[in-house]
Amino acid sequence: METLREIFDPEFLLRNSVYIMLLVGFAAPLVGVYLILRRLIFLGVALPQISSCGIAFAFALPGWGLIPHMHDRVEERALALAGSVVFTLLAIFFLAVFERRGRGLVEGRIGTAYVLAGAWSILLLVQNPHGEHGMLELLRGEVISVSNLDMGLTAVVFAIVVTALFIFQKEFLLVSFDREMALTLKKKIFFWDAFLFTMVALTVSISVLTVGPLVTFGFLLLPPLITYQFARTMRQFILGASLVGGISGMIGFVIAYKWDLPVGPTAIAFLGVIFGVAFCVRKLIQKR
């Protein structure tokens, strides 16, 4: 209890880190639900890495003389976010198109994209020591030095994403879960696909920028996979995934703070334990 009182103290130095973990924990699973519904789970693995490659590419642009060097933190974060969003959008568009057409081995393409994105991230960062240091922090999941700028930007982006997912939930679910029905109802499938993919790209990009690819991947898929085992309705699936993610993010931070561990990996490890327990409970229920 003493640790909780310290963490929730308004003067707590790491309060932005707490808020970030809660935001990512609650918001990312809402997007992950649609990846699972569309059977694009492997895409959830590749997208954070591709997003990281976009950030590395953005950091490399000033060194190539293509754009002026960024001396202002706001401009630097805006550049990184732009690179991340562009790379993520392009990747999710092409991979999703191939998946829908059913041509070739989709998992192979996603795996190739993941490997190439990782390789190019390293190659791009080798020439940028400043960017390399920042990316190494992201890869380790060090959610410690979160600025007010990052906090505000994340809150705004997630507010937009969550609002869109809530308002257009019916359309998103229809094109993700029952495309034949959507065609029968003459829904603009391409438009709603593009809209949903944009929300996915924004969520992945801002999450990678603040908590790193590992934590982003964990919160995208583990909470929905945990909830999927027990949810009987779509509402339970969506809300349950968000609650599992948010609560796990908070518990992960408390554990990491108390035992001086990296925040991101601790939260994901905790989610892994919950997933294992949920799997065992589900098996026991099925045997009865």
| Structural domain spans, the chain | 2-287
Find the mean pLDDT for residues 123-145. Answer: 64
* Cα-based angle 147, 153, 158 (whole degrees, multiple of 5): 125
Q: Return d(Cα 197, Cα 203) in angstroms, integer.
A: 10
Q: How many CB atoms lie within 10 A of CB 239?
A: 16
**Which residue has better confidence, 107 or 50?**
50
Give yes or no for residue 154 having a pLDDT over 80. yes
pTM: 0.87
Select the more confidently predicted residue: 188 or 255.
Answer: 255
- For a pLDDT cut of 70, what percent of the chain falls above it? 88
Q: Which CATH entry fits the domain spanning 2-287: 1.10.3470.10, 3.10.150.10, 3.40.50.720, 2.40.50.140?
A: 1.10.3470.10
Mean pLDDT of 216-224: 94
Rounded CA-CA distance 116/112 in Å is 6
Please tell me the distance from the alpha carbon of residue 226 to that of residue 91, in angstroms, as a whole number: 26
SS3 of 86-154: HHHHHHHHHHHHHHHHCCCCHHHHHHHHHHHHHHHHHHHHHCCHHHHHHHHHHHHCCCCCCCHHHHHHH
Q: How far apart are CA 226 and CA 217, in angstroms?
A: 14
DSSP state of 68: P
Band the pLDDT of 32: cuts 50, 70, 90: very high
